[in-house]
Structure 1
Amino acid sequence: MKSSLCIKKRRVEPVNHLVWSTPTVTPVKPDESVRICRDYECTVNNALKKHAYLFPAINQFTSTYQQLTVDDATAEAQTIITHRGAFRVKRLKFGISTAPGIFQNIINKTVADVQGMLPYFDDIIIAVSDEEELTHRLETVLYRLLHAALQLKSDKCKFCLLRVEVLGFEIDAV
């Protein structure tokens, strides 16, 4: 069960008191697995100061926001209620209105100063003029992501493309 795995990995922890409690919903994904979602719109999002960024969905990183740990107050505010009890959520979750801006800020701090880089959420485009430059920049980016404890989904990564689509625009190497 997915909730047991989250407890085992210490992403959530049982609580006996409720300051906040967010309901969960479980929609079925296209591959027929179940996604456990929290409806933060009816709880904590109402209390958050809105972030200035507006962003698209993220899916190239593995469990994108869940890679980011949160402080005790944030974990308390993200408490969820399920059929198995109440749990304090110790990682940043999808559905928190400020999560996209927080994630983009971390990506910017991690790789934005690498020459030829275009970090935009989970899309990191590396522009190069030759194979040697590609190897160097790719190693730099992967090293930084590793040290920032950010994991990528290997099946979503694409390398050595001559043409990419970004925000509906087609960009090519020529």
Structure 2
Amino acid sequence: MEPFKKKFKDLTDGNIIRRSTSNIVSPCFLILKKDGDLRLVVDYRRLNSNTIKSFYPIPRLSDKIYSLKGSVFFSKIDLNSGYYQIKVQFKDIYKTAFITPFGTYEFIRMPFGLTNAPRTFQQSMNNIFRDLDFMRVYLDDILICSSSES
């Protein structure tokens, strides 16, 4: 139970989650990541089945690869916990609630597992980097490319 408590403390201290009184709750569990850290997973299947799906397009990887033609220098950035950079709209926070052995919590920042999270994140990334032609963004992976060193 100690790793579970530590994970919740880290997420609470990081303003990712907070205590909740929502009566809409989803179950959760922790999984061990490759690096030995724990990832909180919330089973949002029930919530997702009642969610209106966003139609913002996620680019096809093949299109992103084709757009690299002529580039010879590359730098890759993988955003750590990228979804947590996006705030959940205040009116929707209560929907993200989940139950734990320590009480009920809800996300202040966008969690993994919500049906519209990938599209919301992609749209945000596209808006942020829209004027930077040398960058290719695919969800939380950013590729900086150039045809020369300068």
Residue 83 (structure 1) aligned with residue 64 (structure 2) = no
Give the TM-score normalised by the residue count of structure 1.
0.65
Q: Kindly indicate whether the alpha-carbon contact (under 8 Å) linking 1:112 and 1:118 is maintained by their aligned counterparts in 2.
A: no
TM superposition outliers: structure 1 runs of 4+ over 6 Å: none
Pairs aligned (count)? 128
**TM-score w.r.t. length of structure 2:** 0.75
Unaligned runs of 5+ in 2: 1-5, 61-76
Where relative contact order (Cα < 8 A, 6+ residues apart) is larger, the structure is 2
CA distance in 2, matches of 1:26, 1:107: 27
2:40 aligned with 1:36: yes
Per-residue deviation at 1:97? 0.7
Query: Alignment identity in percent?
Result: 26
Query: Are the aligned partners of 2:83 and 2:121 in contact in 1 as well (CA < 8 Å)?
Result: yes
CA distance in structure 2 between the partners assigned to 1:82 and 1:121 by the alignment? 29
Unaligned runs of 5+ in 1: 133-174
- Look up the match of 2:52: 49
1:55 deviates by 7.2
| Equivalent residue number for residue 72 of structure 1 | 90
Residue 26 (structure 1) aligns with = 30
Give the structure with the higher percent strand: 2
For each residue in 1:58-85, what CA deviation from the matched residue of structure 2 results, as whole angstroms up to 9, or x when unmatched? x921111111111222211101110010
Root-mean-square deviation (CA), in Å?
Answer: 2.1
**Could you tell me how far 1:26 is from its partner in structure 2?**
1.6
